[in-house]
Structure 1
Amino acid sequence: MTGAAAVAATLAAYDVDTVFGIPGTHNLALYEALSSHGMRLITPRHEQGAGYAADGYARISGRPGVVLTTTGPGILNAAAAAGQAYSDSIPLLLISPGVPTTHPRRSTGYLHETKNQSAAMDAVCAWSHRVTTVAEIPSALAVAFTFFAGGRPRPVHIEIPADLLDAPGDFSVPVRGSLPEAAAALAGARRVGIILGGGARKAGTAALHLAETLNALVVTTINGTGTLPPTHHRNLGPGLFLKSTQTWLNTCDVVLAVGTELAPSDLWTDFTYEGTLIRIDVDPAQTTASTIPIVARAEAALPALAALVVDAVSGADLRERVPMVGLSEEHTGEVSVAGPSGEPVGEGPIRRVSAHPASGEVTPDLVAVIQQISEERAALSSRWYPELAAIAEALPDEAVIAADNSMFCYYGALATLKNRFLFPTGFGTLGYALPAAIGAKIADPDLPVMVLAGDGALQFTVQELATAVELGQNLPIVVSLNGGYGEIRAEMRARPMPEVAVDLHAPDFVKLAEAFGARGIAHPADLTGEIGKAFAADVPTVIVIQEQT
């Protein structure tokens, strides 16, 4: 068996059926071997797009995304996507050839020669490993898949010397910690808050059961969106960055945080919780700063914890102790909101974009909490209110939103919409949304997926429209025009300093879409209707909206 055949056979043994990448001189043997196993080979227009597409595929499918590049510039082009996957705990396997085993590891003019590409990828991945024999290839890949299954998932890179490609030759993390202690703390608490991160994705039912039993509200991180039904009355959606959410959490005598770093990129401030903190996380390092640490996968720990809590306090008993009221859908007032850099980003009258339904029961004190959080959300997103309301109306509950690092997304959509988001937190790359959406649609072709991006971010990977057209994907792509890098422009004003290098010429996105073979429409009078048409189309649709200033 050749080295390339060993790669293909091992990937097939781990049920890999889709690989993202671009063929090149040094990886042709790999493409030949993968083809012989009937794998689907997706060809984006740039290796960064391949990495983002594999990222989106992994987030939706729950399986590692696999990226295959060529040597040197090919794998380095995918480094930004690897860094993003590292930040967001996404299982990404990047495979590339390297210089031959006989190469002297100094500059000789070898094609795509790189001083040390494994070291370069090691800097942005969990780890990078260069194999030295054909026999080592299956075990190296097995280590990667064991790493994905057994701990916090992050990207890894396997480098295979080019001359080895043609040369012949389930682990789970146990629950550790005191579940009975955690159950006793939750059952005895006056007020409980629940935070769900991306690691809680498979434990939504148990989390909701706990919330109902304990009369608790649930806030998610950005990566945790979609864990609970978007319209459920206990689901506050993503909003750890809101001051009102942090104020509420500090009124809770017990907070349960599941599968989240509680990272600065989630919090936007130096928020400190002073009460009893129960943390459930697969990564032991994430549980150190907690009162009751439980090292476990959420899907293993939460159902067991819920059963213990139910034994201590039933939902019926709780309802007998405190009266229930319906939720108010409308609330008005005045509020000013600051962004992560301290600059004001929203102020003025409150207008409801997506409120909790009146049906459902919560205690009266929580109604005030929900209203305060709704007020701050509305102020934060007021600049895009009509568009966000129209988008919310067009989206089914199961829809997934691939969003970019654009003001329209993190101040607007993330503050109002509760559907599942694919979003590049932490590492904060631009150009993520479109290729990630492509990967998500490949993982589940029947899933409604839409793209939200600003004009600056979309131009990083707008060429992937060609890939989406080629695949016949019905992606609504809503692009908000603000003439450049709006967040950086706002930070320049806040310093204050002259506004330099942030104003960008935007192309005619409608004509650009049509040039790629997609549909395009600018400033539609009926945005909801156009999104609906886009979901029903057989090619992607670029919908241009103008940001209000």
Structure 2
Amino acid sequence: MAAGPRAITGGEAVVRALAAHGTDLAFGIPGTHNLEIYRHLAAYGIRHIAPRHEQGAGYAADGLARVTGRPGVAVAVTTTGPALLNIAAAVGQAWSDSVPLLVVSPGMPLRHPRPATGLLHETPGQSEAFGHLTAFSHRVSSVAEIGAAVARAFTLFRTGRPRPVHIEVPLDLLTATEPAGPPPTAPAQLPARPQPDTVRAAAGALERARRPALVLGGGAHGARAEALALAERLGAPVVTTANGKGAFPESHPLSLGVRLHSPAVQQWLADSDAVLAVGTELAESDTWSALPVLTGTLIRADIDPAQMYAALPADIALVGDAREILRGLLAGPGTAGAGRTAAHGTVADLRSEADAAVTGPDADRLPYLAAIRSVLPPAAVLTSDSAQCCYHGALPHLPVDPPGRCLHPTGFGTLGYALPAAIGVKAGEPDRPVVALSGDGGLQFTVQELATAVELALPLPIVVFDNGGYGEIRDEMTARGDTPVAVGHAPLDLGALARAYGGHGARADTPAALADALRTALTVAGPTVITVPEPPAPPPPFPHPPSAAPCGAPAEETAR
């Protein structure tokens, strides 16, 4: 017999519902309005990590969710008003990259009058505002409703396209005591499967193709083995989006890596007679330019039916779980198309043509990236920022094979992601090597999280390419013929700053020095900032990414 209602506060109802869904770690900062939530965390076995800024809490939860695929730990607790608005950038990034981030905040009292009355942290319509950043923003109206709201969030995380959710609990409900029965829990769901006749049509188109192509996005991470098997059966070259990096082994002879920005790769894609795009928006932030005009059959596989009509509409629409879809395609007879192009030679030529365009400072970074790769073990996680060293560097030129990962803020393109995301990964998987990669401009958006990393006392290298400011924007100004304005920073000793926080600092003027510093940083407790000095760079020889620039990957089946 189920237990009857028990009188609990709204704060306890929040924590109890989170624990019922497997939450064992939350990120956030306590404040006057959320203390009733914090009171109950320990009793329900939920560990808490307090970053120095709510944006850091959101990025940390995001990073952990991408790597573990467990939305139960992607929880950030904020207070009302400024704290909730502080986390908005992280919520926007989680929306863009399809990450299951749950943000819980207090709100104004149930019967709060309007216009404003001058309450502390008073923010009109904060739940309505977050409704535009999330899959949904739910303002509860009773203690009993809290459990249902949390269950609704986890049902979305488990069954649809995972995106952030905001749950707001009015201040008076947090401390109010009301009877509430056991919290409902999100049901276990079987993976969604597409229609068999549609799968057969897609399999036939791929088998008949003489020049098939695969594009893997973040939604393909849960189908890595199947994607590899299908590519090998078809002899099809594979290119990944930024968030798809790591969904296909980049050491494989069929891999083009993350090179959708290359004109040569875009032309190859346009000329392919069958393109299978798995778990990707096929968006401008993937190609850094206008989308190519495809001449062949476009087959889209995605959990989100809306993607079948977005950007490039599908000729054959496979709506469902990526693994189930690819397993269905593999279940066919497997006869290769006659006269199919020798794919290995195609890949080698495309790689060479794309890489030949890399000159100047971008080419100068390549030995440093090779040094990082030589030190990192295969399962390491690289977190990156919206910085030149990432989208011009690590994105196409630091290869990753599963189970390794590369996490990047794609699309929304926020700055300051790398360090707190690395903290989140390290907090959830302390034995897994993690390296953050950033520029000096991006790092300083969240540099205060060095203090959080010190408190965790876990090895965490942060490699920073220092070009004295916002190098990408400086390049764009120069390319326009403008005089650069507000893009240069005064020199800063980042290593000394790390030591001031209680961490470590190093400088790497050569790739060998970077490799040595990285080896040490992977073994010492706490964060190590390794500065790689760079001169200000001229504009790159290939097109700039749009303002929201890419380099990374998502949770097992989350980010796109």
1:413-441: CA deviation from partner (whole Å, max 9, x where unpaired): 11201222211111111111000010011
Q: What corresponds to 1:130 in structure 2?
A: 139
Equivalent-residue separation in structure 2 for 1:5 and 1:408 (angstroms):
45
Q: Name the CA distance, whole Å, in 1 between partners of 2:446 and 2:463.
A: 14
> 2:439–2:466: 8 Å Cα contact kept in structure 1?
yes
Find 1:513's aligned residue among 473, 498, 503: 498
Measure, in 2, the Cα distance between the counterparts of 1:380 and 1:547: 8
SS where residue 300 of structure 2 aligns? strand
CA distance in 2, matches of 1:414, 1:285: 27
Aligned length, in residue pairs: 506
Question: Cα 1:323–1:20, aligned 2, differ >3 Å: closer, same or farther?
Answer: closer
From 74, 86, 93, the counterpart of 2:83: 74
Say which is worse superposed, 173-182 or 484-493, in terms of deviation: 173-182
Q: In the alignment, what sits opposite 2:206?
A: 186
When residues 191 and 69 of structure 1 are mapped into structure 2, their CA distance, relative to the original with a 3 A threshold, is: same
* 1:49-448 alignment, distance < 5 Å: 49-64=56-71, 65-169=74-178, 170-172=188-190, 174-177=192-195, 178-272=198-292, 273-288=294-309, 289-308=313-332, 311-313=333-335, 363-376=344-357, 381-419=362-400, 420-448=405-433
| Offset at residue 268 of structure 1 (A) | 0.8
State which of 520, 536, 548 in structure 1 corresponds to 2:523.
536
What is the CA distance between 1:478 and its match in structure 2?
0.7
- Matched residue SS, 2:331: helix
CA contact (8 A) 1:381 1:415 kept: no
Deviates more, 1:240-249 or 1:12-21: 240-249
AA partner of residue 175 (structure 1): R
Structure 1 counterpart of 2:460: 475
Please give the root-mean-square deviation of Cα atoms over the aligned residues, in Å.
1.8
Aligned residue type for 2:264: S
Residues 520-544 of structure 1: CA deviation (Å, up to 9, x unaligned): 0113542112111111111111100
- Compared with structure 1, are the counterparts of its residues 377 and 258 closer, same or farther at alpha carbon in structure 2 (3 Å cutoff)? farther
Bigger mean CA offset, 176-185 vs 520-529: 520-529
For the residues of structure 2 that align with 1:160 and 1:40, how far apart are their CA atoms? Answer: 21
Structure 1 letter corresponding to 2:436: V
Q: Cα 1:377–1:443, aligned 2, differ >3 Å: closer, same or farther? A: farther
CA 1:180–1:479 in structure 2 vs 1: closer, same or farther (change >3 Å)? Answer: same
Alpha-carbon distance in structure 2 between the residues aligned to 1:194 and 1:322: 15
Moved more, 371-380 or 507-516: 371-380
Query: 1:278-324 deviations in whole A, cap 9, x for unaligned?
Result: 1100111111301111001102211121122xx2327xx98xx7797
Give the match for residue 24 of structure 1: 31
Provide structure 2 residue ranges, at least 5 long, that are not aligned to the other structure: 1-7, 179-187, 538-560
Instruction: State the identity as a percent.
Output: 51
Q: Secondary structure at the match of 2:229?
A: helix
Change (3 A) 1:139 1:403: same
Q: How far 1:266 sits from its partner (Å)? A: 0.7
Displacement of 1:201 in angstroms is 0.6
8 Å CA contact 1:89–1:153 kept in 2: the answer is yes
Q: Which amino acid aligns with 1:472?
A: A
Offset at residue 380 of structure 1 (A): 8.4
Q: CA deviation at 1:466?
A: 0.6
Are 2:272 and 2:295, in contact at CA under 8 Å, matched by a contact in 1?
A: no
Q: Is the 8 A contact 2:210 2:340 kept in 1?
A: no
What is the rounded CA distance, in whole Å, between the counterparts of 1:467 and 1:149 in structure 2? 30
Q: Which moved more, 1:11-20 or 1:169-178?
A: 169-178
**Residue 148 of structure 1 aligns to which amino acid in structure 2?**
F
The 1:379–1:149 alpha-carbon spacing in structure 2 relative to 1, beyond 3 Å, is farther
CA distance in structure 2 between the aligned counterparts of 1:41 and 1:201, rounded to whole angstroms: 28
**CA 1:524–1:363: 2 relative to 1, 3 Å:** closer
Amino acid in the other structure paired with 1:515: A
What is the distance in 2 between the residues matched to 1:470 and 1:363?
A: 48
TM-score normalised by the chain length of structure 2: 0.87
**Structure ranking higher on relative contact order (CA contacts 8 Å, 6+ apart):** 2
Cα-to-partner distance string for 1:214-237 (whole Å, 9 max, x where unaligned): 111111111111112342222222
Deviant stretches of 4+, over 6 Å: 321-324
What SS does the aligned partner of 1:45 have?
coil
